[in-house]
Amino acid sequence: MKNVGIDIIEINRMQLKPEFIKRYLSQEEWKEFQTLATEFSKKQFLASKWALKEAIYKALPSEHLVFDQINITENEYGQPTVKIKDYQISLSLSHNQTNVVAIAICH
């Protein structure tokens, strides 16, 4: 059985407050976030991580997931990847200048 989670978020709704950011980014993601130069790139990065983690949360409703403990990376093709326990999770992310949409499929 496959579980699917989907999330969409408006980029400009993201808040650049450190107390908000640190609750939702892993330590590795936080380091990457700090290298971003523009306000928009920071908001887009946060929206992407948020949408992916929300989609994962929806695909794994029985798991107790803590967002800052989920580390989303990219593979050699730029596709988002994640490792949570023994789950095989496929992720997809798309965005434009306004919105980010993420899909997580747990196999």
pTM, two decimal places: 0.93
Radius of gyration of the chain (CA): 13
> Is residue 27 within a helix (H) or strand (E), and if so which, with residue range?
helix 27-34
Cβ(18)–Cβ(51) below 8 Å: no
Architecture of domain 3-106: Alpha-Beta Complex (3.90)
Mean model confidence pLDDT for the chain: 94
pLDDT in tens, 37-96: 999 999 999 999 999 999 999 999 888 889 999 999 999 999 999 999 889 999 999 999
Tell me if 32 is assigned to a ligand binding site.
no
Tell me if 86 is assigned to a ligand binding site.
no
